[in-house]
Structure 1
Amino acid sequence: MSGQRSWLAVAIVAGLHVDARRAAVEEILHTVPGSVALHHDLTSAVDGTVHRTVRACDGLLSSGDAPLVNDCACCALREDLVPELLRLASEGGCRLAVVELWDSVEPQAMAAVIAGAGAPLVLTGVVTAVDPALVLPYLSNGDDLTEVGLAAAPNDQRTVGDTFARQLEYPTLIALAEEGSCGEDVVCADDADHALLDQLTPGARKVPGASGELGAALFAGFDVTAAAARVHPACALLPQECDEHGVSTFVWRGERPFHPGRLFTALEDLTCAAARSRGRFWLADRPDTLLSWDAAGGALCVQPAGPWLAALPDAAWEMVPAERRLAASVAWHPEHGDRCQYLTFTSPGLDRDGLSALLDSCLLTDEEYAAGRDRWTQLSHAFDNLLDPVTP
């Protein structure tokens, strides 16, 4: 048909805060003409299927079931999502397809699926819907998703806290739940709640609920490559120093490597010191490995994130994303290159001095540092079981 749109705008709405997410989707459907919402309900996975619905502002358009893939509800979502979006594109008449993700599904994985499909699908926006009053309770929740019925796969080992943190930190938009009159059974967000959310999401635009701004904001465009770089341990956009309304962000940096034994002993205290902490670090016995630090809800995930750039031959640098080369060049050390300690801690009631003293005590002493790299690699390999688990 002449003049028919040759592409379909697709936006993702994510969030563990179900009421806030649903309200955001309803606002979009009622303010963007020609918009539809596509949702895969993973709660039906126990019966062997994932239930799909497509609806507009005036009601349900279609529904169906997608079979599990490899006994994995999230895998079924991936397999069914793109064909359903392509069907909407081919039928025409749809201006915006809103993919409302189920509770614990993280937007980064789905954004990659949609962007990877190519034309006629164009990912134009990613938003996480949030109730500011629930940020701290969810971030501090160390329950496994399996324990609370929110696991997306049989082997899902995520917790509520770390899942919520990643949902917050990936998108460029945060949709705030509307704050109406607060009754006795409703907890309203205060200044501290908003300060915590702001410190956790640097650079993200906050869109107030029921403002009518969300629909238009989701057409601004979304760069999947830039978003991935923004959360990658090697070049992540981390929170900056801040202290507001009783909520603080402490940024700790160091040049020397950590003593593996002393850091391992301090892990529990460091993990529980803040509602959210993240960053990158290096160990004396693994001087060429960039390690990521990701903690929320009292649970810590430490993982190898590839080599430091300084450990790579010059010829390999061309294969490294420009965002990472730029991040490394900002604080390049004449001896260590991009190897560094860069950790951020965000929480109400943060003990900055205590954290700083504990972290400093985990670095190599003058004598240990002067002994040189060959001696460093002979120190206790306290992280081996954590970083190199033995497969049974």
Structure 2
Amino acid sequence: MRSDPIPVTVLSGSLGAGKTTLLNRLLGGAGERDLAVLVNDVGEVNVDAELVAGGSDLEVEGGVAELSNGCICCELQDDLETAVVRLAREREFNHLLVEASGISEPAPVARLFTTASRVAARYEVDALVTVLDTRLFLDSFAGDAIPERRGDEADRPLSDLLIEQVEVADVVLLNKADLCTAAELDRAEDLVRALRPDAETIRTEFSAVDPDRLLGIGRFDPDRLGERAGWKRALADDDRDHEHGHGHDHRHPDEVYGVTSFVFRERRPFHPGRFASFLRDLPAGVVRSKGTAWIAGRDGKVGIAQAGPSVRATVRGPWIASLPEVDRDLYRSNRPNLEWHDEHGDRETELVFIGTEVDEPSLRAALRDCLVADDEWSQADSFENPFPRDPGEEVVLREP
């Protein structure tokens, strides 16, 4: 049994973006690499696996398809861990390709290979690669009609998934580039850089790319998997600026890319009605906004997640300041670095906005207009409130 870990490349992208075409190209241009492949599809019939196997001598046994070129395809679903351990035990190969289904988020797949488990002992993630249908990517943020999702998450807008797949990627293929103008491709690159600043972008047609640009590149950093998104970087930068006295309203531009981001912080709650209206009327130039909001009349932290035309709110747990005194004091004693306001405790809004041609002063002014006025504090519990109350509850404030 080999002692060094096997590198893994995870391929993700929406349905029809070109993942399977890319996979076949990688197999055809593997050279001396001995590749194994795991293909995940959401249907009972693994269509992608059949497409990868097309034109080969195929033997199917126990849900595993053995190809004449030495590649393995199997349906992942809940058996991913068992499948990849079995692959390492039964076959000799030096690189694993995992093609996630079109409705999958790549981060949970990557975590399987990085957490303490029998899988992590045999494998290491080399890179997360996201394939974008560039035309669809641009249209989804312009509010144009886009195809429906399918599978268990069909009720979630496509823009949510596209952003989640980009925000963790090491490499992003701007596929179907022939269907876009040069200006549109430039805009797509700007958006990717804003969403995932450290990702490499590659413009492709029909998923044609040199395998050496995707395999054996060592781009994945497991320690930063949860810190990759542009909105998290903007928030972290703003934290550092705040510590050094730059103030709450410091701006974080990526002006060289034509995309700007800024952080809005405030220790005063939002009026639920006015803030909901603000979110529903966000200008098209705001591509991504995310963070935590303090909503009047709610004891819990309300998470805000906007991706293009989609805006959703969820409860992320209670404010520590809202807990019984004993629990509150215990929590604070275990978190000595927790920022604490004498009057409001840990209650604070922290929202990041990322976009192109965004009128930041106007957005800031509109956000401040959404805050509860001095004479409204006593009415907070009586406001009509569209935001969720219970842990795990989600409210759709805007959708395509």
TM-score range, shorter chain: 0.7 to 0.9
Distance 1:305 1:281 in 2: 10
| Residues 314, 51 of structure 1: alpha-carbon distance in 2 compared, 3 angstrom cutoff | farther
| Matched residue SS, 1:38 | strand
Partner of 1:163: 161
| Matched residue SS, 1:33 | coil
Distance 1:351 1:245 in 2: 16
Partner of 2:67: none
| Matched residue SS, 1:378 | helix
| Residues 51, 194 of structure 1: alpha-carbon distance in 2 compared, 3 angstrom cutoff | closer
Aligned: 1:39 with 2:34: no
Q: What displacement does 1:20 show?
A: 4.9
CA offsets, 1:204-235, max 9 Å, x none? Answer: 33153635232122x45542x74246569xx9
Partner of 2:189: 194
How does 1:352-371 map onto structure 2 within 5 Å?
352-368=360-376, 371=377
Partners of 1:271 and 1:277 within 8 A in 2: no
Aligned: 1:206 with 2:203: no
CA offsets, 1:215-272, max 9 Å, x none? Answer: 122x45542x74246569xx94447434456543343332211112321333311375
Q: What displacement does 1:161 show?
A: 0.8
User: Structure 1-normalised TM-score?
Assistant: 0.72
2:186 is aligned with what amino acid? D
Aligned: 1:175 with 2:172: yes
CA offsets, 1:176-203, max 9 Å, x none? Answer: 34798x5xx554444333222211113x
Q: What displacement does 1:361 show?
A: 0.5
Ranges in structure 1 where 5+ consecutive residues have no aligned partner: 67-75
How does 1:251-330 map onto structure 2 within 5 Å?
251-270=263-282, 274-286=286-298, 288-309=299-320, 313-316=328-331
Partner of 1:348: 356
Q: What displacement does 1:170 show?
A: 2.5
Partner of 2:123: 122
| Residues 83, 341 of structure 1: alpha-carbon distance in 2 compared, 3 angstrom cutoff | same
CA offsets, 1:62-117, max 9 Å, x none? Answer: 65796xxxxxxxxx742232232122101232112111112221112333445465
| Residues 317, 85 of structure 1: alpha-carbon distance in 2 compared, 3 angstrom cutoff | farther
Q: What displacement does 1:355 show?
A: 1.7
Partner of 2:248: none
Identical pairs, percent: 24
| Residues 222, 268 of structure 1: alpha-carbon distance in 2 compared, 3 angstrom cutoff | same
Distance 2:344 2:138 in 1: 37
Partners of 1:13 and 1:101 within 8 A in 2: yes
| Matched residue SS, 2:312 | strand
Partners of 1:142 and 1:160 within 8 A in 2: no
Partner of 1:103: 102
Partners of 1:39 and 1:100 within 8 A in 2: yes
Aligned length: 349
Partners of 1:107 and 1:126 within 8 A in 2: yes
| Matched residue SS, 1:110 | helix
| Residues 317, 174 of structure 1: alpha-carbon distance in 2 compared, 3 angstrom cutoff | farther
| Matched residue SS, 2:78 | helix
Partners of 1:8 and 1:95 within 8 A in 2: yes
Partner of 2:385: 382
| Residues 348, 61 of structure 1: alpha-carbon distance in 2 compared, 3 angstrom cutoff | farther
Partners of 1:310 and 1:338 within 8 A in 2: yes
Partner of 1:138: 140
Alpha carbon RMSD of aligned pairs, Å?
A: 4.0
User: Structure 2-normalised TM-score?
Assistant: 0.71
| Residues 127, 316 of structure 1: alpha-carbon distance in 2 compared, 3 angstrom cutoff | farther
| Matched residue SS, 1:163 | helix
Q: What displacement does 1:285 show?
A: 1.5
Q: What displacement does 1:122 show?
A: 2.7
Partners of 1:248 and 1:348 within 8 A in 2: yes
Q: What displacement does 1:28 show?
A: 4.9
CA offsets, 1:32-63, max 9 Å, x none? Answer: 71222221233xx2xx444573969x967665
CA offsets, 1:307-356, max 9 Å, x none? Answer: 34555635346888xxxx97x65xx6554444322223333332323322
1:163 is aligned with what amino acid? L
Distance 2:105 2:216 in 1: 23
